[in-house]
């Protein structure tokens, strides 16, 4: 006769313990649905610029579709590298998103040797959002009327005509670098913490001109506070009536367009990435959003897929190598 006796209730106790472990262990329990708390959308510029205006529209509309708040967080400075570094180090959990642009893809590493992130490897590329030309502006009492006047002045005073920018490698600076290459002139870059401060410096006469984003300066142009010399695009745009294209203003062959994209840290869950792509695309196709963007001088241009945007940024990385070298040389 066996002397072994089962302890009463031991099996039931084991079941209870296993159930308790499953209820608290993330590895055993079902993951919480995303998003279950607010998302942060990082903007690399001060309030008032193109990325900020775009980001606030997206945060509002995407938040409604995701049934979750999206909080805009401005992290300006160092020509977007402060914000980019922050996002590259963030957890890839879908709760940190970013409005980025072309300088992210290799240009930052050329211009800022201390940058440790890689535009391709350190980020998740979700969707292209918008594109737009920039507007070259000057103070109202400036004798400059167009690009022809600007080029003539720059040739008469090499390196003395100043332009305000959001820093080395920013879209403002790159537009100026392309202008200098096309016109064969030298302008002096004066960096600020964003396009809006640069525009204010232009109005105040602290700098001669600024290559500005439409959301930053079009309200000022419409209000008569600042004068537009021309667009950085080769063709005129119906979004900017009365403002000549680069060719019409006196510089044929000059064509510089800016784009913004939606990013996150590298390693995000593909299902979350696809959801963000679908939601951002739906928002960009919303007629109300389209009109809001047009009012800011932007054209909605969502990618056909996440994969297409990934291919796009890799092409950009190759194409901007020459521009990065020119931008670096401009500061030497």
Using pLDDT thresholds of 50, 70 and 90, give the confidence band for residue 332.
low
Class of domain 39-131+257-331: alpha beta
* Higher-scoring residue by pLDDT: 105, 311: 311
As annotated, the residues of the chain forming the CATH 3.40.190.150 domain(s) are 39-131+257-331
Contacts 24+ apart (CB under 8 A), 58-63: 58/99, 58/129, 58/262, 58/280, 58/283, 61/283, 61/286, 61/289, 62/276, 62/279, 62/280, 62/283, 63/39
As annotated, the residues of the chain forming the CATH 3.40.190.10 domain(s) are 135-249
What is the per-residue pLDDT across 106-148, written as a single tens digit (0 to 9) for each? Answer: 788 888 888 999 999 999 999 999 999 999 999 999 999 999 9
What's the pLDDT score for residue 12?
54
Q: How many residues does the chain have?
A: 332
What is the per-residue pLDDT across 224-242, written as a single tens digit (0 to 9) for each? Answer: 999 999 999 999 999 999 9
Using pLDDT thresholds of 50, 70 and 90, give the confidence band for residue 330.
confident
User: Cα angle vertex 304, ends 300, 305, to 5°?
Assistant: 120
The three-state secondary structure class of 54 is helix
CATH of domain 135-249: 3.40.190.10
């Amino acid at each position: 006769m066996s002397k072994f006796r089962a302890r009463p209730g031991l099996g039931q106790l084991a079941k209870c313990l296993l159930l308790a472990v499953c209820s608290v262990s993330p590895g055993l329990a079902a993951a919480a649905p995303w998003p279950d708390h607010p998302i942060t959308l990082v903007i690399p510029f001060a309030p008032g610029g193109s990325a900020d205006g775009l980001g606030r529209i997206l945060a509002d509309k995407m938040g409604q579709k995701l049934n979750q708040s999206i909080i805009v967080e401005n992290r300006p400075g160092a020509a977007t590298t402060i914000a980019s570094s922050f996002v590259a180090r963030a957890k890839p959990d879908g709760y940190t998103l970013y409005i980025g642009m072309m300088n992210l893809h290799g240009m930052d590493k050329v211009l800022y040797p201390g940058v440790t992130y890689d535009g391709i490897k350190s980020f998740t590329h979700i969707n292209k959002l918008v594109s737009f030309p920039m507007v070259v502006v000057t103070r109202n009492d400036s004798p400059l009327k167009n690009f022809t006047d600007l080029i003539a002045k720059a040739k008469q005073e090499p390196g003395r005509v100043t332009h305000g920018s959001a820093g080395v490698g920013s879209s403002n600076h790159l537009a100026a670098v392309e202008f200098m290459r096309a016109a064969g002139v030298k302008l002096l870059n004066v960096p600020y913490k964003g396009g809006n401060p640069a525009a204010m410096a232009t109005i105040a006469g602290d700098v001669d001109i600024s290559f500005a984003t439409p959301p930053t300066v079009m309200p000022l142009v419409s209000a008569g506070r600042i004068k537009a010399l021309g667009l950085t695009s080769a063709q005129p745009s119906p979004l900017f009536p009365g403002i000549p294209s680069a060719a019409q203003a006196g510089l044929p062959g000059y064509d510089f367009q800016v784009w913004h994209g939606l990013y996150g840290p590298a390693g995000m869950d593909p299902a979350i990435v696809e959801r963000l792509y679908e939601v951002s695309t739906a928002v960009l196709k919303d007629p109300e959003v389209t009109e809001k963007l047009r009012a800011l001088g932007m054209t909605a241009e969502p990618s056909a897929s996440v994969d297409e945007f990934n291919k796009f940024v890799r092409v950009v990385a190759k194409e901007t190598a020459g521009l990065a070298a020119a931008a670096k040389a401009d500061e030497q």
